[in-house]
Structure 1
Amino acid sequence: MSGSLITSLLDAQWTIGDTSILWREIIGNGFGIASAVGGMRRVIWAWPVGIIGNILLFTVFLGGVFHTPQDLDLYGQAGRQVMFLIVSSYGWWQWHRAKTAGLREPAQADPSRSILSEPADTYEAVQPHWASARERVFMAVVAVVGTCGFAWLFSALGSWGPWSDAWIFTGSLLATLGMARGWTEFWLIWIAVDLVGVPLLFSAGYYPSALLYLIYAVFVIWGFVVWLKVQRETQARARVEGPPTAADTTGQRTVRTAQRH
């Protein structure tokens, strides 16, 4: 009974004219938007919420395998859901580690949304910052090599739109890694992914995903502005207050250790 109920929920469709859309495509993308909002606000729940959406969308983009209304296989789109699961687990751990380290958020941060636990006088949290020159070179190399390599692989697998699919996969990997590392550039990478993803999804008939990609673009631009503002405020405060001395840092760690015990 429960099995048939789950199957019915997974197969539920919304029909608009001659077009059938899976509800799990809409719901999965809804979780994705919630994750993007959480990422912008730098709250830990952004990661598990996004993972739920990844699991739902994995089945959607293998339309030929799971016999969805689109009946097309986008291996890059499906593969990136698996990649999201892996990288999001890393991001979840990375942000949780910052939270338990007892580091300080900006003064205006809402404590209920903070990824941190105890206040301290350091700036070592998961704070927005530009990637270093070496990290940018790394991202550029991965973008080129990854797109070419995955385009070949997806072509061999019979993916629909392999080159676009390959960039979407590679760019999503870089953007998710950048979010975990706190690189402000990750928002710009998402914009580049959306520019390719929207036309691909519309052409393939994944209309909810295409429309929600457009909504993502709004959140991405908004998120970039928010992170950039936080980054500048943090840097300005650091210039005024100056970095903590070695003695201060040692004392703060001793106090935090004593408080935990």
Structure 2
Amino acid sequence: MNPIEWLFDATLVIGDQQILWREIVGNLFGLASAIGGLRRKVWAWPVGIVGNLLLLTVFLGAVFGTPNPVNLLGQAGRQIMFITVSVYGWIRWSRHRHVAETAVDPHWAGWKVRLALVAVMLGGTLLLTPVFRALGSFEPVWADAWIFVGSLLATWGMAKGWTEFWLIWVAVDAVGVPLLISAGYWASATLYLVYGAFTIFGFFTWMRVQRRTTSSTAPDRASTTPRD
């Protein structure tokens, strides 16, 4: 068996539970990507894409004949979405790094954007729930739809440099943990718990960076302000 076949088929057995190693490895890549995002490193995007490709095969359990024959279409679909948005974020952060010291400058999205994010989160969940149900996603389907929409908005917010994107991840994790446990994806549920604590830490970290950036540029703006 070559390394690729081993990674695809190998499982970790804990009691009566079989956990795919590619589920564990995919989530570890996701955690590494989150750490890179926290540090505002461009490499966070390609690392995340590798994890997305692995998890795509995991959440289509019935398609790939895995030990857990459950399809979470929202979870699987969001891996494709992650890859698409990550390419955008990768390009955006790379371009910014060429004109600034860091890949992104954290900043608030503003109230208009926040209200739009809430509207899209709720409206997208309502819209996708019957679609995912018709396609045979695992119940409760609304939770799968919520995770999909929230992940899209959070990834987009990270690419744009909105500090609020961390709070969207908190909302995603709060729903994702019980859904993944009920579907039998224990490794992903455990990592979601870690993500939950990490996203709160990430929010306050970006907020501190944002304050330092604002305070450091304030004297420059004041010096260029015309005086009477």
TM-score of the pair, normalised by structure 2? 0.94
2:43 to 42, 45, 51: 45
1:27 to 25, 28, 52: 25
1:147 to 100, 108, 125: 125
Partner Cα separation in structure 2 for residue 189 and residue 24 of structure 1 = 26
Alignment match, 1:135: 113
Aligned residues: CA RMSD:
1.6
* Cα deviation digits, residues 106-148 of structure 1 (max 9, x gap): xxxxxxxx43xxxxxxxxxx21111122212221221111111
Partner Cα separation in structure 2 for residue 11 and residue 46 of structure 1 = 27
Identity %: 57
How far 1:243 sits from its partner (Å)?
A: 6.6
Alignment match, 1:231: 210
Partner Cα separation in structure 2 for residue 82 and residue 241 of structure 1 = 43
* Cα deviation digits, residues 151-175 of structure 1 (max 9, x gap): 1110110100210000000000000
Partner Cα separation in structure 1 for residue 7 and residue 160 of structure 2 = 36
Q: Which runs of 5+ in 1 are unaligned?
A: 105-113, 116-125, 247-261
How far 1:219 sits from its partner (Å)?
A: 1.4
How far 1:244 sits from its partner (Å)?
A: 8.1
How far 1:20 sits from its partner (Å)?
A: 0.7
1:199 to 178, 187, 193: 178
TM-score of the pair, normalised by structure 1? 0.82
Partner Cα separation in structure 2 for residue 17 and residue 213 of structure 1 = 21
SS at match of 1:242: helix
SS at match of 2:109: coil
135-144 or 208-217, which deviates more: 135-144
75-84 or 211-220, which deviates more: 211-220
Q: What amino acid is the match of 2:111?
A: A
181-190 or 232-241, which deviates more: 232-241
Q: What amino acid is the match of 1:103?
A: A
Instruction: Number of aligned residue pairs: give it.
Output: 224
How far 1:79 sits from its partner (Å)?
A: 0.3
How far 1:239 sits from its partner (Å)?
A: 2.1
Structure 2 residue 81 is matched with structure 1 residue 75 = no
Partner Cα separation in structure 1 for residue 6 and residue 97 of structure 2 = 40
Q: What amino acid is the match of 1:44?
A: V
Structure 2 residue 158 is matched with structure 1 residue 179 = yes
Alignment match, 1:218: 197
Q: What amino acid is the match of 2:203?
A: F
Alignment match, 1:103: 100
How far 1:6 sits from its partner (Å)?
A: 2.3
Partner Cα separation in structure 1 for residue 126 and residue 151 of structure 2 = 15
